[in-house]
Amino acid sequence: MFGNFFTFAILIDILKVLIIKFMKILLFLLIYSLFVPNDGAWLLQLFSEKSQVKVVQSESVPDTLTLMFIGDVMSHSPQVDAARLQDGTYDYASCYQFLAPYIASADLCIANMEVPLAGSPYTGYPQFSCPDAMMSQLFDAGVDVFLTANNHTCDKGAKGIRRTIHVMDSLGIPHVGTYLDSTDFNQRNPLIVEKNGFRIAVLNYTYGTNGIPAPNPFIVNMLDSTEIARDIARARELKADYIVVMPHWGIEYERKQNKEQKGYANYMYECGADMVIGGHPHVVQPITLENRNELGVAQCITAYSLGNFVSNQRKRYTDGGIIVKCQLVRDTNGVIQITDYEYLPYWVYKGTCQGKYQYHILPAKHAVENCAYYDLHGADSVALNLFYKDTKALIDSFPESKFDFTSAIR
């Protein structure tokens, strides 16, 4: 009898140990499920047959976003003549065709529209108005956002500012820098663009408007420390993941950033900017890459001036520019890092075809290596090679793009 009792007691003990072990395993699984990246979906899957829970596996690939920045889109009168077709419309397809595959490779591409879309009559320097097609065909080529605050914003007064905004709005194109009035400003500044799960804030300021004040009630974002701090704080309030500040600044034709630009860039980072990309000098200025861990930002790319995207300027350093491209990745902890970055130097070919000017923006390296393909000879080939050499010497610590133009264009 005692023997049976002991056997029974031992069995009970073993059962107790098994139950406790099972409970421990269950507890471990529950706790573990809270910390694994796929929100415990796998645990639900274990029981899904019984519970009939339909499990959709969440993406384990981190969010990525490719950002691209294009410099100053200029429109001198010979360019307007070059784009005019016999029927009176304007076409820029041939101007953009060689860079279009590269532009299309970005998730979010931002360009500075330096020239107001003030309608006809179209004018060049010094007070510009350019055909809408110059902007809309760039949008078709893959530019997603346009900057509108620069020293030519007020060239055509109220009409130029209003019409530029209306044309972009009518095509559903996001823009930043100028506003119809304070209500428009409060509703749309800073610009937040949502793409691939990222909320990117784009801020744009200009050092001045060539002595022409913004007509009432229009607002042009001016390079001003109070405005910058206010807008960056507002971007954070609006839950921006990443803040790009794009100032129109610097001294024309200076190939190096000045003290004021460096001071402003530093200030923008102190206020919470993540990246600073500038324009205006008509020439390329250096790109710096810094670790600013003390500010909670791992890497800061500052491109002081991207140069002209397209223009009629032909002097050394002004006949081309650079595009900056970088990849943002949000890791499983939600931290956004720059994982890849590059610049693409391009050169603007100006030729004549059947008595008409033509402007082609060419990827510089590919053109240097394939002069025959682009039909480049003599002085053009010399200017292209010089621009490429000058630019590579200036942007020495930043990787050049390895984009395959051969298969993209042919």
Shortest distance, position 126 Cβ to Zn ion, whole Å: 11
Using an 8 Å Cβ cutoff, are 145 and 202 in contact? yes
Region near Zn ion per CB under 5 A, out of 24-32, 142-150, 222-230, 329-337: 142-150
- Backbone dihedral region for residue 25 (phi beyond 0: left; psi -120 to 50: alpha; all else: beta): alpha
Give the one residue of 76, 175, 280, 365 binding Zn ion; rule: CB under 5 A.
280
Query: What separation in angstroms does the CA of 258 have from each of 159, 222, 279, 285?
Result: 34, 18, 13, 10
Residue written as tokens 């402003």?
264
For 95, the token pair is 């101007």
Residue of minimal Cβ distance to Zn ion: 280
Binding mask 145-174 for Zn ion (x = CB under 5 A): -----xx-----------------------
Using an 8 Å Cβ cutoff, are 120 and 98 in contact? no
Shortest distance, position 72 Cβ to Zn ion, whole Å: 6
Shortest distance, position 303 Cβ to Zn ion, whole Å: 15
For 359, the token pair is 């402007």
Shortest distance, position 305 Cβ to Zn ion, whole Å: 10
Distance CA 285, CA 276 (A): 13
By beta-carbon proximity to Zn ion, the closer residue of 251 and 386 is 251
What does R_g of the chain's alpha carbons equal in angstroms?
Answer: 28
Shortest distance, position 253 Cβ to Zn ion, whole Å: 12
Shortest distance, position 280 Cβ to Zn ion, whole Å: 4
By beta-carbon proximity to Zn ion, the closer residue of 136 and 206 is 206
Region near Zn ion per CB under 5 A, out of 17-25, 219-227, 279-287, 394-402: 279-287
State the number of binding residues for Zn ion (CB under 5 A): 3
For 198, the token pair is 């990222």
Candidates 267, 288, 290, 293; CA nearest to 277 is: 288
Region near Zn ion per CB under 5 A, out of 26-34, 46-54, 167-175, 280-288: 280-288
Would you tell me which residues interact with Zn ion (CB under 5 A)?
Answer: 150-151, 280
